[in-house]
Amino acid sequence: MEVAVPDIGDFSDVPVIELFVKVGDTIKVDDAIATLESDKATMDVPSSAAGVVKEVKVKLGDKVSQGAVLIVVEGAGAAPAAAPAAPAAPAAAGNTAVQATPAASTAAFSQSALSAPAAAAAPSAVTLGGKVHASPSVRAYSRELGVDLAQVRATGPKGRVLKEDVTAFVKGAMQTGVVPGKTAAAAAGASLGGGLDLLPWPKVDFAKFGEIETKPLSRIKKISAQNLARNWVMIPAVTYHEDADITDLEAFRVAINKENEKSGKKLTMLAFIIKASVRALQQFPEFNSSLDGDNLVLKKYFNIGFAADTPNGLVVPVVKNADKKSVFEIAAETGELAKKARDGKLGPADMSGACFTISSLGGIGGTYFAPIVNAPEVAILGVNKSVMKPVWDGKAFAPRLTLPMSLTADHRVIDGALATRFNVYLAQLLADFRRVML
Catalytic site residues?
411
Candidates 148, 277, 362, 402; binder of ligand CAO (CB under 6 A) is 362
Tell which one of 42, 115, 142, 360 touches ligand CAO (CB under 6 A). Answer: 360
| CA 143 distance to own-chain centroid | 16
What is the closest distance, in whole angstroms, from the C-beta atom of residue 131 to ligand CAO in the complex?
A: 44
Tell me phi and psi for residue 308, to 5 degrees: -125, 130
Q: Distance between CA 133 and CA 118 in Å, rounded?
A: 21
Contact 56, 34 (CB under 8 A): no
Tell me how far apart the alpha carbons of residues 172 and 169 are, in angstroms, rounded to a whole number.
5
Hey, how many other C-beta atoms are within 10 angstroms of the C-beta on 11?
19
Interface of this chain with ligand CAO, residues 295 to 334, rule: CB under 6 A:
306-309, 314
Nearer to ligand CAO by Cβ, of 287 and 306: the residue is 306
Nearer to ligand CAO, 71 or 346 (CB): 346
Tell me, by CB under 6 A, how many residues bind ligand CAO.
Answer: 19
Burial class of 248 by CB neighbour count within 10 A (0 to 12, 13 to 18, 19+): middle
Name, in order, each residue with C-beta under 8 angstroms of 401's C-beta and a sequence gap of 6 or more: 245, 246, 247, 250, 386, 387, 388, 389
Find the binder of ligand CAO among 36, 89, 338, 429 (CB under 6 A): 338
- Residues 6 or more apart whose Cβ sits within 8 Å of residue 81: 48
Does 68 contact ligand CAO by CB under 6 A? Answer: no
The rounded Cα 130 to chain-centroid distance in angstroms is 32
296 vs 314 by CB, closer to ligand CAO: 314
Q: Which is nearer to ligand CAO, 147 or 338 (CB)?
A: 338
Please state whether 182 falls in left (phi above 0), alpha (psi between -120 and 50) or beta: alpha
By residue count, the chain amounts to 438
Nearest distance, CB of residue 69 and ligand CAO, angstroms: 53
Q: Map residues 388-407 to x or -, x wherever contact with ligand CAO holds by CB under 6 A.
A: ---------------x----
361 binds ligand CAO (CB under 6 A): yes
Strand partners, 403: 244
Residue 111 binds ligand CAO, judged by CB under 6 A:
no
**Smallest gap, in angstroms, from Cβ of residue 338 to ligand CAO?**
4
Q: Which residue sits closest to ligand CAO, CB atoms considered?
A: 362
Q: Which is nearer to ligand CAO, 98 or 373 (CB)?
A: 373
- Point out which span in 26-34, 90-98, 357-365, 421-429 binds ligand CAO (CB under 6 A): 357-365
- Residues that bind ligand CAO in the complex, under the rule CB under 6 A: 268-270, 306-309, 314, 338, 359-363, 371, 383, 385-386, 403
